[in-house]
């Protein structure tokens, strides 16, 4: 059952992950693996585009928590963009907006990386 998909793109030194479908305790390891590959390659400027994500549970948010400290220690960041209100609410309920850069669209995230 392909209920979750990650596709990767690069724009300059920024690695963009498009996530699609349902991100839960079953599919979170797929996202974890993709971010781990980037980190292993020393790629610390990561943008995750949520526009095609239909569902997220805390297991999905846990993936970002697992990497953020290491990535920021390497002068990078994970920025999150294009969330629909249903997805954003889950991040908001857990206090993520205070700790993570959640922006409207990809361009906002790219601008923030470049400044």
Which residues would be at the binding site for another protein (CB under 8 A)? 1, 3, 22, 24-26, 55, 57-59, 61-62, 65-66, 68-69, 86, 90, 93-96, 99
44/74 Cα distance (integer angstroms): 7
In the complex with another protein, the residue whose CB is nearer, 94 or 114, is: 94
Residue 80 in contact with residue 48, Cβ under 8 Å? yes
Min separation Cβ 75 and another protein, Å: 17
Largest CA distance in the chain: 41
Q: Identify how many contiguous H helices and E strands the chain contains and give both numbers.
A: 4, 5
In the complex with another protein, the residue whose CB is nearer, 1 or 12, is: 1
Min separation Cβ 22 and another protein, Å: 7
Cα–Cα nearest to 42, from 73, 9, 19, 2:
73
In the complex with another protein, the residue whose CB is nearer, 51 or 57, is: 57
């Amino acid at each position: 059952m392909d209920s979750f998909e990650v596709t990767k793109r690069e724009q300059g030194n920024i690695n963009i992950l498009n996530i699609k479908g349902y991100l839960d305790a079953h599919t979170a390891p797929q996202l974890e693996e993709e971010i781990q590959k980037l980190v292993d390659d020393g790629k610390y400027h990561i943008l995750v585009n949520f526009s095609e994500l239909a569902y997220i549970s805390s297991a999905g948010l846990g993936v970002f928590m697992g990497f953020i400290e290491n990535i920021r220690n390497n002068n990078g960041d994970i920025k999150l963009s294009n969330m629909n209100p249903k997805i954003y609410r889950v991040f908001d309920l857990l206090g993520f907006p205070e700790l993570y850069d959640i922006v409207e669209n990809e361009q906002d995230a790219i601008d923030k990386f470049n400044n």
